[in-house]
Amino acid sequence: MINLESKQLRATYGEALVELGAANGRVVVVDADMAEGTMTGGFKDHFPERFFDVGVAEQNLMGVGAGLSVAGWIPFVNTFAWLLVLRAGDPLRTLVSYARTNVKIVAGYGGFSGPMDGATHQAIMDLAVVRALPNMTVVVASDHYQVRSLLPLVADLDGPVYLRLSRAEVVDVHEENTRFEIGKATPLKTGGEVTLITHGPILGRVLTAASILADRGIPASVLEVHTLKPLDGEAILAEAARTRAVVTVEEHNIIGGLGSAVSELLSENLPTPLRRIGIRDCYGETGPYEKLLDLYGMGVQDIVAAAEEVLRRRGSTLSR
Amino acid sequence: MIETIIEPAMKPDYETLQRIACELRLDALRMIFDAKSGHAGGSFSAAELITALYFYKARLDPENPAWEDRDRIFVSKGHCAPIYYAALSRAGFFPRGELTTFRQLGSRLQGHPDRLKLPGVEMSSGPLGLGASVAVGCALGLRLSKSEARVFCLLGDGETQEGIVWEAAMCAAKYGLGNLTFILDYNRYQLSGAVDQVMPLEPLEQKWQSFGFGVIRVDGHSIEQIIEALDRENPDQPKLILALTVKGKGVSFMEASSAWHGRVPSPEEMKKAEEEIGHLIEASAASAD
């Protein structure tokens, strides 16, 4: 059964964090005056002694997280995505990535999901930063079921993790019996003529696009690469080898994120007609979330058109 | 080489500790000379501070560097790696012979400390200011574990121009971290000149007091004063030991100057520096007898 209730992904994270805190006594939470936004307030209420608020001080947020890990705890460090990778960028690199500490960085407000606050509060480059940091595991969550499933796995993984969440209203898309594994892509539709590769809440749009394509007689595979790093090259190459037509869809700059990762993999191993759907190297603006996605090239129709285009390109490649 | 193991509970042997500090200086000097790179000035100013921590105050087990209840020493001013490495090896974390590999390709003794490579290094450091924040997080974590272990963090003076240091200071005061001691190596020179010129820190004592720290001002080259300050406990308040030091201390032509922040001595300068430190070692040995 899929739960069709629409709610913000961050709210589910807040609930799942409380469950994790009850199940795992080594988990501690650090926030930077953002508990209202990151939804860590529930954890604070249940486990006040394991919750630390460092105030509006993101560099110290990261440093305190690293220090807690040295003392043997499993810190979950929370704030806006852009602050974590930019304001706290050097502590992130030096104390978490380079020092390979067991710090879990939970990035709220991924992509355009802080829409009304405007471009300064929207994270369009965070995945490019963390993907280029050695030792990091990078995970992007798409729905409530996945957040609840992945959180204990993130806690159990020995090493630094960047988990990107969203403030967006999301409806569950995964069946309750779906099993996720960090580092392994999840196939949601298989056997298509074209492969749609995606992660994050935009997965809902990708599935809608796949239905439209199916109605037009073009079955599409949908591969969810929730773990951006380490990239599941095997699953991506297998799909690309079969369809020879790939579209990546992400709520991120097309530079440095999922589209880049897949392009790099395919260019080196299996050059394949490919289109990247995402933010085309520009800043967003204030506006309703869904409208921003449409306006900045991440509409359902954009995905459908890109799929048809790569199929045309595949056709011309094959006929040459 | 002194083999005496100094137990924290014992009455400190100031003369022996003073001699250890000078011997660490000599090790650090030779490492820098051999590597043709490294930071002498900030190593020498910190010699007595590091000595008091590693050979008097801290409860450590070099045989088991990951011992849960060990005291944590964070060397935030990671550029003083030469004196830090000399102390770690003397404390028994790795063989002394390895000091000659400092800054060589493939060495565990990286230009700045790497916790994944070298036993005893609690946190990789070098980018300035970060150690203060890590120390605060670690002190929070140890208190949560109900551990008796204490946290010490060695900071440079120029380093405290970094904003993160004051973010960390606010946080330490908020949580009343009585298990945390910052030690500020106030040698008054940073890379490009005098601290007072580059970016004045004064009134430093009042600044730290106003940030909620108990401040103890000491002569940072007096083992006796450093130890007295380290031993003064206040369970409810973080502590800052403001150590007045001399950059390049122990080698006359290196003292009180930014020129020797990262300069390497010529062979002639090396000979003179070794002689001067050698005299200091002899003098401390004589006063111990």
Residue A178 lies in a domain: no
Q: What is the pLDDT of residues A208-241, one digit of tens each?
A: 999 999 999 999 999 999 999 999 999 999 999 9
Q: How far is A279 from chain B (nearest CA, A)?
A: 33
| Residue that terminates a domain, selected from A170, A196, A213 | A170
- The verdict on A135 and A242 lying in the same domain is no
Provide the domain count of chain A: 2
Q: What is the pLDDT of residues A258-291, one digit of tens each?
A: 999 999 999 999 999 999 999 999 999 999 999 9
Q: Would you call B164 and A63 a contact, using CB atoms and an 8 Å cutoff?
A: yes
| A123 DSSP assignment | B
- The verdict on A229 and A110 lying in the same domain is no
- The verdict on A291 and A249 lying in the same domain is yes
Q: Would you call B141 and A71 a contact, using CB atoms and an 8 Å cutoff?
A: yes
What pLDDT score was predicted for residue A70? 96
Residue A2 lies in a domain: no
Using CA coordinates, name the residue in chain A closest to B125. A94
- The verdict on A210 and A298 lying in the same domain is yes
What pLDDT score was predicted for residue A2? 75
Neighbouring CB atoms inside 10 A of B197's CB total 11
Q: Would you call A63 and B134 a contact, using CB atoms and an 8 Å cutoff?
A: yes
* Cβ(A104)–Cβ(A66) below 8 Å: no
Per CB-CB distance under 8 Å, the chain A contacts of B175 are 52
Q: Would you call B140 and A72 a contact, using CB atoms and an 8 Å cutoff?
A: no
Q: Would you call B144 and A91 a contact, using CB atoms and an 8 Å cutoff?
A: no
Nearest to B52 by CA among B241, B178, B238, B201: B241
Q: What is the pLDDT of residues B189-241, one digit of tens each?
A: 999 999 999 999 999 999 999 999 999 999 999 999 999 999 999 999 999 99
Q: Helix crossing, A300-319 with A203-215: angle to 10°?
A: 60
Q: Would you call B137 and A94 a contact, using CB atoms and an 8 Å cutoff?
A: no
**C-alpha span between A182 and A226 (Å, rounded):** 8
Lowest model confidence (mean pLDDT) among A2-16, A270-284, B106-120, B130-144: A2-16
- The verdict on A91 and A227 lying in the same domain is no
- The verdict on A87 and A227 lying in the same domain is no
Q: Which of B68, B138, B148 to mutate to test the interface with A (most CBs of A within 10 A)?
A: B138
Per CB-CB distance under 8 Å, the chain A contacts of B153 are none
Is the backbone peptide bond immediately before A219 cis, with ω within 30 degrees of 0?
no
Residue A177 lies in a domain: no
Q: What is the pLDDT of residues A95-110, one digit of tens each?
A: 999 999 999 999 999 9
Q: Would you call B122 and A70 a contact, using CB atoms and an 8 Å cutoff?
A: yes
Residue A202 lies in a domain: yes
- The verdict on A129 and A198 lying in the same domain is no
Residue A236 lies in a domain: yes
Q: What is the pLDDT of residues B55-79, one digit of tens each?
A: 999 999 999 999 999 999 999 999 9
| Residue that terminates a domain, selected from A138, A170, A202 | A170
Per CB-CB distance under 8 Å, the chain B contacts of A55 are 167, 170-171, 174
Per CB-CB distance under 8 Å, the chain A contacts of B132 are 63
Residue A270 lies in a domain: yes
Q: CA dihedral defined by A165, A166, A170, A174, rounded to 10 degrees?
A: -20
pLDDT confidence band for A6 (50 / 70 / 90): confident
Residues whose CB is less than 8 angstroms from the CB of residue B5 and which lie 6 or more positions away in sequence, other chains included: none
pLDDT confidence band for A1 (50 / 70 / 90): low
CATH of residue A127: 3.40.50.970
Q: Where are the beta strands (DSSP E) in B161-226?
A: 180-186, 189-190, 193-194, 214-219
Using CA coordinates, name the residue in chain B closest to A49. B144
CATH of residue A228: 3.40.50.920
Report the share of chain A in percent with pLDDT over 90: 96
Neighbouring CB atoms inside 10 A of A298's CB total 24
- The verdict on A218 and A150 lying in the same domain is no
Q: Would you call B171 and A72 a contact, using CB atoms and an 8 Å cutoff?
A: no
pLDDT confidence band for B5 (50 / 70 / 90): very low
Q: Which of A64, A69, A90, A98 to mutate to test the interface with B (most CBs of B within 10 A)?
A: A64
Cβ-based contacts under 8 A for chains A and B? 110
Lowest model confidence (mean pLDDT) among A218-232, A304-318, B7-21: B7-21
Q: Would you call B144 and A50 a contact, using CB atoms and an 8 Å cutoff?
A: yes
> Is B113 a residue whose pLDDT tops 70?
yes
Q: Where do the domains of chain B lie, and which CATH numbers do they carry?
A: 14-288 (3.40.50.970)
Using CA coordinates, name the residue in chain A closest to B131. A63
Tokens of A263: 């392009």
Q: How far is B13 from chain A (nearest CA, A)?
A: 31
Range of the domain at A114: 7-170
- The verdict on A135 and A191 lying in the same domain is no
Residue A293 lies in a domain: yes
- The verdict on A102 and A235 lying in the same domain is no
Residue type, B1: M
- The verdict on A304 and A224 lying in the same domain is yes
> Is B6 a residue whose pLDDT tops 50?
no
* Cβ(A121)–Cβ(A178) below 8 Å: no
- The verdict on A92 and A19 lying in the same domain is yes
> Is A92 a residue whose pLDDT tops 70?
yes
Q: How far is residue A183 from each of residues A135, A157, A172, B20, measured CA to CA in Å?
A: 13, 11, 21, 51
Is the backbone peptide bond immediately before A288 cis, with ω within 30 degrees of 0?
no
What pLDDT score was predicted for residue A185? 98
> Is A62 a residue whose pLDDT tops 60?
yes
Using CA coordinates, name the residue in chain A closest to B145. A71
Report the share of chain A in percent with pLDDT over 70: 98
**Three-state DSSP string of B218-238:** EECCCHHHHHHHHHCCCCCCC
**Interface contact A51, partner B, CB < 8 A:** no
What pLDDT score was predicted for residue A160? 98
| Residue that terminates a domain, selected from A146, A170, A194 | A170
Q: Would you call B138 and A50 a contact, using CB atoms and an 8 Å cutoff?
A: no
Residue A99 lies in a domain: yes
What pLDDT score was predicted for residue A151? 98
Per CB-CB distance under 8 Å, the chain A contacts of B142 are 71
> Is A320 a residue whose pLDDT tops 80?
no
What pLDDT score was predicted for residue B12? 86
Four-residue CA torsion sign, A77, A79, A81, A85: negative
Radius of gyration of chain A measured on its C-alpha atoms? 19
* Cβ(A13)–Cβ(A168) below 8 Å: no
